[in-house]
Homo-oligomer: A and B are copies of this chain.
Amino acid sequence: SKLIYVGSYLLERLAQLGVTSMFGVPGDFNLGFLDLVEDHPSMEWIGNCNELNASYAADGYARVNERSIGVLTTTFGVGELSAVNGIAGAFSEHVPILHIVGVPNTMQLKNKPMLHHTLGDGRFDAYTKAAEQFTVSQATLMNKTTAAYEIDRVLNDCITTRRPVYLTLPTDICYEKIPSDRLKVHLTSIPPENDEDVETFVLDEIVKLVETAGQDVVILVDACAGRHHVKAELKDLLTKTHFPVYAAPMGKSVVSESYDRYGGIYVGSISHPDIKEKVESAKLVISVGSLRSDFNTGNFTYSVPARKTIELHSDHIMVLHAKFPDIGMKRLLPKLTARLQPYKEEAKLLEVPLYKIVVPQEDNNLISHAWFWPRVGQFFRPKDVIVAETGTSSFGILDVPLPDDAVFLSQVLWGSIGWTVGSTLGAALAARDLGLGRTILFIGDGSIQLTVQELSSMVRVGVKPIIFVLNNSGYTIERYLHGKERKYNDISNWKWTSLLNVLGGEGASESYTVHTKDDLSKLLEDPTFAKAEKIQLVEVMMDKFDAPRGLKMQTELSGKTNKYVTVESTV
């Protein structure tokens, strides 16, 4: 069989998985591998400004190119450790990333000299030990005999668990030659069949509960429905059963938000009253891919007790209080749909609130959150990729119905600010490959400062996102939590509209400041702006103390505004 470099074997596997762009920063221990990447016919090397941003980009790429994975390449120590937060975030939010680290050669790994990028005390395993905390699987390629197997093992773990994995590539191993036969058998993320007996038992149980509920059933969609690829199965379930469906914040856009049986976002006590009532009064809730984090549940204020909930997960099913390990939803869902179809007529009678939002009339021209979010909602188009940063943006966007086939990215559980900048780069590249629409980012003036340099990579690779920077003089979300007037919540004001020019975008970008509702409306109605044929940045002037409904409710409800840490008593 044909011999190929270990590095090339790895690249072929990635190509098979549909990876088209790889992210990272060069460093002397990965340069040889980067030669292979640069020379690969179908792979594009996206050199990022720094490694954290690169990990965010790989994350955003994986979320949009959801059949594939994100790939991050860094160098030993300094590079890989810069990306730890990005990888941990991908772990937390179930995003598959392969982190390839170029490391010294195997002789050095054994002899442990005091190389640059080491801790100076001979501990060469410290970085891997750290990585073990934040990845589901790790491999160090120490010889060519097992290299292909090890690569396949971590990749397999990555695509099946939808979580990050870690691979160290010593400089010498990268150029060892190995047989390529294994490549003929592709890796697959499709889970094996469930145990038939248990599965049938579970299905029977569910059908019984649906009957008992008099078909008063609601479907609740969450993060892992998207991450574990059951969108199609879910759509089938919905259209064939007509059950009303709602989404948690992390499940937003998994089900089309224009679907007539879709009622909007359920997030415990901070849901719209209508939605709250409908979800909580249902006799039975079938929850798909749930992830019950504080901000995804309105600070743990779900009033949907286990005794009326069926939870479908990628690797287990909960029927009320009973757990069925190793039964996965991917295989179960089609069978469930077939069994539930007969209940469709009754389900049709269940009313679903109309999920829409009206642009309010306000008696001044300032851009308030109450006005801003519905207004930009009118600007969205089918297939747009919409990214919202933690802060007022991530709360504001929740009330806005997104168009058909829109893709929504936010980091509700991990909530690392700055993430969206890298993530928008990755998302825009994936969107380009998949023929999706515009990529539109909403980000606060505080958050963008963490990772701002990655705008330069967007310019360089030629993606054209529209970036709304909410200029509200600092960390507004934090002012709501604590320290309203504190200096530590202030930030430096930048010349936002010159940023793209300085970062390499002169001629290739446009920037605007909007002070009023009229300014913004005019811009949104400008067809050239809407076409997004250049990268564009819009500085949106907002009041320091204004916030969207959701954020205000969160703090009002808990009655703790300005007390120390809102979530303190939620357990």
Contact = CB atoms under 8 A, between A and B. Distances in A.
Nearest to A127: B133
Given A81-B88, A120-B92, A475-B26, A300 B38 contact: no
A416 B418 CA distance: 21
A475 B28 CA distance: 11
Contact of A81 (B84, B94, B459): B84
A407 B452 CA distance: 31
Nearest to A497: B502
Given A129-B133, A130-B84, A31 B483 contact: yes
Contacts of A171: 564-565, 568
A565 B487 contact: no
A491 B418 CA distance: 21
A499 B452 CA distance: 12
B459 A492 contact: yes
Nearest to A454: B449
A67 B45 CA distance: 45
Contacts of A213: none
Interface in A269-300: 291-295, 300
Given A126-B134, A300-B113, A34 B486 contact: yes
Given A78-B89, A82-B84, A457-B492, 12 more contacts: A28-B481, A31-B565, A34-B483, A81-B84, A92-B119, A117-B415, A117-B416, A120-B291, A120-B413, A126-B134, A129-B130, A502-B502
Q: Nearest 9 A-B pairs (CB), nearest first? A: A78-B416, A81-B85, A50-B450, A32-B564, A31-B482, A492-B504, A126-B133, A82-B85, A114-B293
Interface of A: 25-29, 31-32, 34-35, 37-38, 45, 47, 49-52, 77-78, 81-82, 84-85, 88-89, 91-94, 104-105, 107-108, 111, 113-120, 123, 126-127, 129-130, 133-134, 171-172, 175, 291-295, 300, 412-418, 449-453, 456-457, 459-460, 475, 478, 481-483, 486-495, 498-499, 501-504, 506, 564-568, 570-571
